[in-house]
Structure 1
Amino acid sequence: MNIDTSPIAAIATAPGRGGIGVVRASGKNLQGLVTALFGTTQLQPRHASYLPFRQADGSIIDQGIAIFFPGPHSYTGEDVLELQGHGGPIVLQLLLARVLEAGAELGLRLAEPGEFTRRAYLNDKLDLAQAEAVADLIDASTEAAAKSASQSLSGAFSKTVNALVDGVTGLRMLVEATLDFPEEEIDFLEKSDARGQLKAIVESLDQVFRQAAQGALLREGLNVVLVGQPNVGKSSLLNALAGNDVAIVTPIAGTTRDKVTETIQIEGIPLNIIDTAGIRTVDDSIDVVERIGIERTWAEVGKADVILHLLDADQGPTRADENIMAAFPPEVPVLRVWNKIDLSGHKPSVDEMADAVHVYLSAHENLGIDLLRAELLRIAGWQQTGESLYLARERHLIALKNAGAHLARAGEHAAQNDQSLDLFAEELRLAQAQLSSITGEFSSDDLLGVIFSRFCIGK
């Protein structure tokens, strides 16, 4: 791996104005930078020193706190210098420019996105799953997501994955030892309880996958698209779910011309609720704007994780409603939501029928909304299990799923006794590689580049 180890610096706080801003530098030896910035002043390791931050000509940029973390006892494992000053964007830019100027002889340069955390990973301060948890913690949109990201950052997810790796490795060693000494004619599968060990590993993997899949919901959320004919109450339902008047509601058909998106939380799960233009037959009686709105509605349907098909409970089903239903993608879950039960006389309820689950509610009167929320959680697969959740990424789920497939094939070979021990061992090796890729023990340079490029600069 070709790694640039020259010192780096960047603004570590978010763009914009704030009470405090931080400029951070990292490198293998930053004593020269400290001397260039503060002269003979010595910075006591890991202690805050209140100092003036000066330009090269001695004029003061700001007054603030300097903290020096000698490597390897720092975030990156290198020497780290943090300058904490006032959070004005101009002040921070001036301070960053001064740091880069003072460190020019050391080869100090501007950091790339995620480069501080990448160095922490490369210097064994974090594994890859923990490094990703840093970005997830920053990006967390709910309290539950933040808690799960913090748990992954502490190493809980990595510890669980490493335990699986250890289990697979131990079993693999037994299998390969038997292959190395066939003359002893030991009935390996029976005496070492290989099948029992494999079963225990598979059960543990299933539990980890379940926890990771639940955690992935906290990170990604669901795209929930509201679809129906004009004036069936889509915007009213969006407002009821959001608890705010985020969409305009009028009795005039076609009020919503373009999508309106609102992110809400149900049990900590982020749901991106997308209100769309009402669907009706495209003919010469509708204007160009509404025609485009209908086209965009179908585009959102194609990207939906869940479709809420709204119908008017007071009028009952129509041929147009059935035509809309028939055009939905077959692989996307659909809830048929009967709105306006305050006019029809229906009670709030949920009916599981052959075509779909039907929910009866009134968005205007806020009746049955909790039933709809519960159904959305059910479709999401959310369960309050009491288990710790890991804020998993798609690549984690893919690796866990692939490892499970290799273990399943290993079980098939184990059922054939020692005639297929070499294939048994190979499937265990492949499963081990998949699990190890989660923490970065086996990861390609390309994968690392993609992961860290999505971080913010300064982190």
Structure 2
Amino acid sequence: MDYQQGDTIVAIATPPGEGGVGIVRLSGPRALSIATALCGGSAAEPLTPRYAHFRRFYTRDGRVIDHGITLYFPAPHSYTGETVVELQGHGSPLALASLLAEAIARGARAARAGEFSERAFLNGRLDLAQAEAVADLIHARSDAQARAAAASLEGAFSQAVDGIHRQLLHLLALAEAGLDFSEEDLGDTHEQAIADGLTQLGRQVARLLRQAEQGARLARGGRVVLAGRPNVGKSSLMNALARRESAIVTAIPGTTRDLLREEILLNGLPVELIDTAGLRQAGDAVEAEGIARARHILHSAQLILLVADASVGWQAEDEVILRDLPEGPRRIIWNKSDLVSAPPPTPAGEVAVALSAQTGAGLDALHQSLIEALGMHGDNGPFSARRRHVEALEDSLDQLNTAKDLHSVGGVPELVAQSLREAAGALARVTGQIDAEDILGEIFSRFCIGK
């Protein structure tokens, strides 16, 4: 992180390409003076805070670049907590590039990716979980993702964390009271209050952890890979799930040579479907490369669908493929089940779904199986979350359980208090109250320029 307090930053805040409106955003101590110069200098009427002004935008030699709306937000009542000015012109890439260059020539610095949101965090306008929710909302690919990200941006996740954190600090104060007055008998009531508090907080953190895990799954989406022998109907199943002719389907083994990708929605979760080359001894170099890619992508799958042909039953080649699959969730898919009266026996310990990609029979059952396997059954969760949030909550819960175990056996009070401090610190990492320095650069570097 390289945050310089005196810098004024500038960026194009709208997506690349042509559009009806294009926005150049300035933030920092010189934002107003630079924007005023761009709008004609002292000859122009002063900008009124939070008022839409029609202005022409000029180069330093007086040429008009564009005209549009100028909005002025004085510090600290702005997105970043600094003085912010937005120049809203036409969505011309050339005009926007000219405005950006003029702002830089007048003393602004080109913003880094995510620097506006980074400054909002550093100036107390957003906590870290809310700042991450901004990126989640921008990158949302489904209504469920957008709703969850908006809830986090509004503070649903942060408020839950802060509420537990306050209770934890109160419990820590009780535990430390026993240290401060160790020579006095505070009584059974004091120890029972600590025991009850540990139990209650453990339940609350566990519940929040489940919600965060659901929110993290929703935020990152899912990846499902189809695997199996040639000609078992993987491409037909891909087309049936995608509801369009995405993959070429023929009776010729080895038709699919490369990875084919489609995205579908399952219970609000964006799921990337990947069709792969049939796994067998390759017939040529091109097919060999496709098979190598298929085996590689299997290791990144959240769920593998091993497709088998119900009309011929479980084959020795199917067994070899099953044995070589990486560890993780998987389903046996008995395709072409419309050709038999009943699906063949499934290998022991495996979960199977019988269907026909040709007729569509059994696809609803597959959808439900996918939802359960990807952990998206029931509510999608009240907010978006990240893997680091889940890890912080896991750490907090572990420390609470340690404190509870120590307290229940009359352990050293100092160790109980230390575990409570660690639990509180882990919670504080979620919203960036402590230990944020090491992760800020990683988090904000994934934002788009201008946000």
TM-score in same-fold range (> 0.5): yes
Is the contact between residue 236 and residue 249 of structure 1 (CA under 8 Å) also seen in structure 2?
Answer: yes
**Does 2:85 correspond to 1:81?**
yes
SS in 1 for 2:286: helix
Q: Show the counterpart of 1:289.
A: 286
Q: Quick check: 374-383 or 28-37, which moved more?
A: 28-37
Give, as a single letter, the amino acid of the residue that structure 2 aligns with 1:69. F
1:338 is aligned to 334
* Residue pair 2:165, 2:428 contacting (<8 A) in 1 also: yes
Q: How does 1:190-229 map to 2 (within 5 A)?
A: 191-229=191-229
Partner of 1:57: 61
CA displacement at 1:113 relative to structure 2: 0.7
- Residue 142 of structure 1 contacts residue 218 of structure 1 at CA under 8 Å; is this kept in 2? no
Q: Structure 1 pair 253/442, CA: closer, same or farther in 2 (3 Å)? A: same
Matched residues in 2 for 1:43 and 1:336: separation?
A: 66
For 1:166 and 1:383, the matched residues in 2 are separated by: 32
> Is the contact made by 1:338 and 1:359 (CA closer than 8 Å) also made in structure 2?
yes
Deviations 1:238-296 (A, max 9, x none): 111111111111111110001101111111011111100001134xxx11111111111
Alpha-carbon separation, structure 2, partners of 1:449 and 1:221 = 23
**Structure 1 regions of 5+ residues with no counterpart?**
none
Q: Which amino acid aligns with 1:35?
A: T
Q: CA–CA distance in 2 between the matches of 1:454 and 1:297?
A: 28
Counterpart Cα distance in 2 of 1:30 and 1:308: 55
**1:192 CA drift (Å):** 4.5
Q: How big is the shift at 1:389?
A: 2.2
In 2: Cα distance, 1:388 partner to 1:275 partner: 29
Q: Which residue of 2 aligns with 1:375?
A: 369
State which drifts further: 197-206 or 27-36: 27-36
Is the alpha carbon distance of 1:233 and 1:352 closer, same or farther for their aligned partners in structure 2, counting shifts above 3 Å? Answer: closer
Distance of 1:339 and 1:185 partners within structure 2: 71
Counterpart in 1 of 2:16? 15
SS of corresponding position for 2:402:
helix
The one-letter amino acid of 1:215's match is G
Rounded to whole Å, the distance in 2 between the matches of 1:374 and 1:397 is 25
355, 359, 371: which is aligned to 1:361?
Answer: 355
| 1: CA distance, partners of 2:32 / 2:269 | 47
Q: Which of 429, 436, 446 is the aligned partner of 2:428? A: 436
Give 1:371 deviation, angstroms. Answer: 0.6
**Contact in 1 for aligned 2:212/2:385 (Cα 8 Å):** yes
CA distance in 1 between counterparts of 2:268 and 2:341 reads 33
CA-CA distance at 1:53 after TM superposition: 1.0
Tell whether the 8 Å contact from 1:178 to 1:188 is kept in structure 2 after alignment.
no
Q: Is contact 1:66-1:84 (8 Å) kept? A: yes
State the shift of 1:443 in Å: 2.3
User: Which whole-Å deviations, capped at 9, do the CAs of 1:69-107 have from their partners, x for residues lacking one?
Assistant: 011110011110100011111111011112222x32xxx
Alpha-carbon contact 2:223-2:272 (below 8 Å) kept: yes
**Mapped partners of 1:89, 1:34: distance in 2:** 19
What displacement does 1:407 show? 0.9
**Does the 8 Å CA contact 2:212/2:381 hold for their aligned counterparts?**
no
Cα 1:414/1:42, change in 2 over 3 Å: same
Q: CA deviation at 1:200?
A: 0.9
**Residue 384, structure 1, aligned to residue 378, structure 2:** yes
Distance in 2, matches of 1:188 and 1:307, equals 55
Aligned to 1:93: 97
Q: Look up the SS of the partner of 1:193 in the other structure.
A: helix
What is the deviation of 1:321? Answer: 0.7
Distance 1:29 1:10 in 2: 14
Give the corresponding residue for 2:49: 45
The code of the aligned residue for 1:14 comes to P
- Deviation at residue 338 of structure 1 after TM alignment: 0.3
Contact kept? 1:359, 1:372, Cα under 8 Å = yes
The alpha carbon displacement at 1:57 in A equals 2.1
How many residue pairs get aligned? The number is 447
Give the SS at the match of 2:397: helix
1:414 pairs with 2:407? yes
3-state secondary structure, aligned to 1:224: strand
Encode CA deviations 1:205-264: one digit per residue, 9 max, x unaligned. Answer: 111111111111211122111001001010111111111111111111110001101111
How far apart are the structure 2 equivalents of 1:234 and 1:214?
29
User: Secondary structure of 2:183's partner?
Assistant: helix
1:154-233 aligned within 5 A: 154-187=154-187, 191-233=191-233
Question: How far does residue 189 in structure 1 lie from its aligned partner after superposition?
Answer: 6.6
Say whether residues 1:24 and 2:25 are aligned partners: yes
What TM-score, normalized to structure 2? 0.96
Map of 2:252 onto structure 1: 252
Residue 34 (structure 1) shift = 3.4
Q: Which piece of structure 1 moves more, 436-445 or 307-316?
A: 436-445
Tell me how far apart the structure 1 counterparts of residues 72 and 346 of structure 2 sit (CA, whole Å): 63
Indicate conservation of the 8 Å contact 1:189/1:195, yes or no: no
Runs of 4+ in 1 over 3 A off after TM superposition: 187-192, 351-354
The whole-number CA distance in structure 2 between the counterparts of 1:275 and 1:306 is 13
In structure 1, C-alpha distance between the alignment counterparts of 2:80 and 2:415, rounded to whole Å? 41
For residues 353 and 401 of structure 1, do their structure 2 counterparts lie closer, same or farther at Cα, with a shift above 3 Å needed? farther
Q: CA deviation at 1:450?
A: 0.9
With normalisation by structure 1, the TM-score equals 0.94
Contact map agreement 1:338 1:358 (CA 8 A) in 2: yes
Which amino acid in the other structure matches residue 278 of structure 2?
Answer: G
CA drift at 1:58: 1.8
Deviations 1:340-389 (A, max 9, x none): 01212338x9x99742111000011111111111111111122324x852
Deviation at 1:434, TM superposition (A): 0.6
Which residue is 1:327 aligned to?
Answer: 324
Q: d(CA) in 2 for partners of 1:356 and 1:187?
A: 56
State the distance in 2 between where 1:289 and 1:199 align.
60
> Which amino acid in structure 2 is aligned with residue 326 of structure 1?
R
Task: Find the residue that maps to 2:239 and give its secondary structure.
Answer: helix
Are 1:188 and 1:194, in contact at CA under 8 Å, matched by a contact in 2?
A: no
